[in-house]
Amino acid sequence: MGETFGARLRAAIEKRGRLCVGIDPHAALLAEWGLSDDARGLETFAMTAVDALAGEVAVLKPQSAFFERHGAAGIAVLERTVREARDAGALVLLDVKRGDIGSTAAAYADAYLHPESPISCDAITVSPYLGFGSLDPFLDAADRYGRGVFVLALTSNPEGPEVQHARVEGGTVAGSVLAQIALRNGGADPLGSIGAVVGATIGDLSEEVAINGPLLVPGLGAQGGTPADLRRLFGDVYANVLPATARAVLAAGPEVSALRDAARRTAVETSR
């Protein structure tokens, strides 16, 4: 297996800072860059982002849906994006939010985490809301191949609380998810490979997020999250926080130098 994802992520943060930048080529942003909303425009956008950022930030996070909407040609661009970003030294976290059971979950795990897959990534996002046990194929594959999994726990969308804040024996659904992540990360050093997704704009945080693993925190920048929110919410576990932003950096494009400058500014702000 070699080095774990948690160890590689910790090393990447120490070398490049904690920033995660999303590659989210939605139609409006393609238009802002003067690109066509097709596979050709998608490829130009993605390769520009990789050129600008893959040598700068710790983690790049392509959003799979924005590639999938262009069909087979879009998936081919996603494969190239993942491959070239990793070759340039960035860890690639593919935002796919998969969640299924049995052999289907195992097939998704092979698609994204198996080292020989054409779209092999360092980590993916998954949903635990078919039951935490449904994630076993993803977690087992992550252990086997030295990859990571980020589990949705406390998302900032308005509909999230109806499930995540629901009460179960001993606490909330989200609290149960976080506790099970912590159990899977037990004893890992320097950092577990199973992370949690906790939104920067959730307001208050009453759950225990000391999971001995990374905390992916989307919502920084355009969605309203600030570096001060990160410090306020995560305090003692801030060293494990991976702030994620997309538009705050991508809006500076399409010039490579402008994208790099925006990423550097955001990285400095989140390092304080």
Start-to-end CA distance of the chain, whole Å, equals 35
Q: CA-to-CA distance for 28 and 75, rounded, in angstroms?
A: 20
Q: Do the Cβ atoms of 67 and 77 come closer than 8 Å?
A: yes
Name the residue among 232, 272, 234, 268 with its Cα closest to residue 248.
268
- List the catalytic residue out of 80, 83, 86, 97: 97
Residue 142: name the closest of 167, 124, 168 by CA. Answer: 124
Distance of CA 190 to the CA centre of its chain: 19
For residues 69 and 73, give the distance between their C-alpha atoms in angstroms, rounded to a whole number.
9
Cα separation, 125 vs 198, whole angstroms: 12
Active site (annotated) includes residue 61: no
Amino acid symbol at 159: E
Active-site positions read 97
